[in-house]
Amino acid sequence: MTDSYDAGPTDVPILEETIGANLSRIAAEHPDVDALVDVAQGLRYTYAELNAEIDVVARGLMACGIATGDRVGLWAPNRAEWTISQYALAKIGAILVNVNPAYRTHELAYVLNQSGTRMLIAATSFKSSDYVAMVAEVRESAPALTDVVFLGTDDWDRLRDGASEVSPDDLAARMASLANTDPINIQYTSGTTGFPKGATLSHRNILNNGYFTTELIGLGPDDRLCIPVPFYHCFGMVMGNLGCTSHGTTMVIPAPGFDPGSTLAAVEAERCTGVYGVPTMFIAMQSHPEFAERDLSSLRTGIMAGAVCPVEVMKHCVEDMHMSEVAIAYGMTETSPVSCQTRMTDDLERRTSSIGRAHPHVEIKVVDPETGETVPRGEPGEFCTRGYSVMLGYWEDPEKTSAAIDPDGWMHTGDLAVMRDDGYCNVVGRIKDMVIRGGENVYPREIEEFLYTHPDVEDAQVIGVPDAKYGEEICAWIRMRPGRTALDVDAVRDFARERLAHYKIPRYVHVVDEFPMTVTGKVRKVEMRERSVEILGLSGE
């Protein structure tokens, strides 16, 4: 029987240049192509204009004394200045520290201190967060932080004005001194326990991952990509921004934060050929009252990632959103992020029941979590990946780095996956999410996919809760379609009987309006478990 190991194609070579050099080259090749459109701010830049603006900000940063390897935080929702700062920092070799817009003072102080951030570029506010007040509160406890630049104020103009003190030749010399293996980005992964870890990524890591992710959906200078996913996360700044700029594609920012109506409007107005999102975003767009009225005929592709895609949602993307070439991508921040992706020529079955196959220049395998041995194809185990995309390590945390990356360079993801005979993989859950009921291994994903087929169910999430008899029992959280009657346990049992093994049928059903989510659109199952135990009175189990 074949082992669960595969390696991606290597016919297209890896880009061996820095992010700044790549942008300058692409801008010279496609100077008049639209590079960036910020719908909310009414800003537009061609590649020539964007590259020139980035150089101004880069020289301004150098005038502030920002050196190669210095950490600079970006704390803002999606806006043109986020993207401009991202590339300006890359051109001068400063390490961009992504700060989650949802952070409060406790998390902000931790990230600034753990990374030793010297400058923070921040919005003044977003949603209910007053960033100015929060920065003032944490400054004393963040001794490395010497400069704060607030966007939308005179600070940004002053930063740009500083460019007059640094010549273009000085910037060119700085760019020439950089290596593409240098660290250029720290992304804090939201751990379910303890403080987040700073995944440290190089130019080579993220430039190539963005490049190959969009290479596989055929992006080019004629394409326009709508990016409603957050920039502070790999999905936005790597698969979105770097994926576009490495191909001369237009980046379209529909709004500062995700809004389904704004995203649909931007696709129509800007004639976008692609759109990104996690499944919950696509569900929100497809459920939006204006969905049927919007002209989405310009779409042909996009990427759904961040969670496994429900079959029905994917079908709506292909049939109702014209996204015949939409791809599923799978990965994690520590792998830049994508390790597996479906291909444009894949049939609907592969695009709705798998996470794709190995990315270019990436190896993947599925191993027994206990022994580390590669399992036969068709058997579940831990998904591991190796290649250019694996992070340099967790920032100043060698212990956690060695726990995640083994001596042979394999990143252990903590995801349970199955590799099929054709090399395509499917994630069946997290090792920590797997439910063991009466000795039977139950994979929540399988039950969720089944519940999606109920005509009244819009979304479903399955978790395990404590049970005195079986160890764990199945609990389903369900969101109903608008206007549909809420399901109860008996209705779900009737629907599942004859079609699911008895031990997979949920014992508990909890109907909700929304799931607890991270800001990247991932469902927080840890919180769901805690709340279920409370709601069901199972704390004594």
Domains of the chain, by residue range, sit at 18-31+45-179, 433-535
d(CA 237, CA 86): 8
The tokens describing 377, both together, are 């194809």
- What is the β-pairing status of strands 250-253 and 34-38? parallel
pLDDT above 80 for 190: no
Alpha-helix residue ranges (DSSP H) falling in 243-347: 243-245, 260-270, 279-286, 311-320
- 289 CB contacts (<8 Å, ≥6 apart)? none
User: Does pLDDT of 407 surpass 90?
Assistant: yes
Task: Give the pLDDT confidence score for residue 308 in this predicted structure.
Answer: 66
pLDDT at 540 over 60: no
What is the pLDDT at residue 247? 98
pLDDT band at 528 (very low <50, low <70, confident <90, very high): very high
Q: Does pLDDT of 194 surpass 80?
A: no
Q: Across all residues in the chain, what is the average pLDDT? A: 93
Burial 114-150 (b: 16+ CB within 10 A, else e): bbbbbbbbbbbbbeebebeebbeebeeebeebebbbb
Q: What is the CA radius of gyration of the chain?
A: 23
The whole-angstrom separation of Cα 421 and Cα 419 is 7
Four-residue CA torsion sign, 443, 426, 388, 301: negative
Q: What is the mean pLDDT of residues 258-282?
A: 96
- Mean pLDDT of the 286-314 span: 90
How far is the first Cα of the chain from the last one, in angstroms, to the nearest whole number? 42
**Which CATH code for domain 18-31+45-179?**
3.40.50.980
Q: How far apart are CA 413 and CA 461, in angstroms?
A: 21
In the chain, the percentage of residues whose pLDDT exceeds 90 is 79
User: For residues 312, 313, 316 and 321, what is the CA-based torsion angle, rounded to 10 degrees?
Assistant: -170
pLDDT attached to residue 299: 98
Q: Is residue 54 pLDDT above 80, yes or no?
A: yes
Question: What pLDDT is stored for residue 372 in this prediction?
Answer: 94
pLDDT at res. 159: 98
Taking alpha carbons only, the member of 16, 21, 15 closest to residue 172 is: 21
Question: What mean pLDDT comes out for the span 105-125?
Answer: 95
Predicted model pTM? 0.87
Lowest mean pLDDT among 172-181, 189-198, 370-379, 422-431: 189-198
- Rounded mean pLDDT, 472-494: 91
pLDDT value of residue 280 = 84
Question: Crossing angle for the helix pair 444-452 and 311-320, nearest 10 degrees?
Answer: 50
* Band of pLDDT at residue 81, cut at 50, 70 and 90: very high
Amino acid, single-letter form, for residue 395: W
Give the residue carrying structure tokens 């640094």: 166
Per the structure block, which two tokens stand in for 200?
A: 């440290």
- pLDDT of amino acid 193: 46
- Collapsed DSSP state (helix, strand, coil) of residue 218: coil
Give the whole-angstrom CA distance, residue 412 versus residue 394.
14
What are the Cα distances from residue 147, in Å, to 64, 138, 141, 248, 456? 9, 13, 14, 33, 53
CA distance 382 to 434: 12
DSSP 3-state assignment of 420?
coil
Q: Tell me phi and psi for residue 100, to 5 degrees.
A: -60, 125
Please say if the pLDDT value at position 307 is more than 80.
Answer: no
Confidence class of residue 399 from pLDDT cuts 50, 70 and 90? Answer: very high
Using the predicted structure, report yes or no on whether residue 191 has a pLDDT greater than 60: no
Pairing, β 425-430 against β 435-437 = unpaired
Q: H/E element holding 430?
A: strand 425-430
**CA angle, corner 73, sides to 71 and 74, nearest 5?**
145
CA atoms of 411 and 417, how far apart (whole Å): 14
> Which tokens hold the place of 170?
């000085």
The dotted CATH code for 433-535 is: 3.30.300.30
pLDDT of residue 134 exceeding 70, the answer is yes
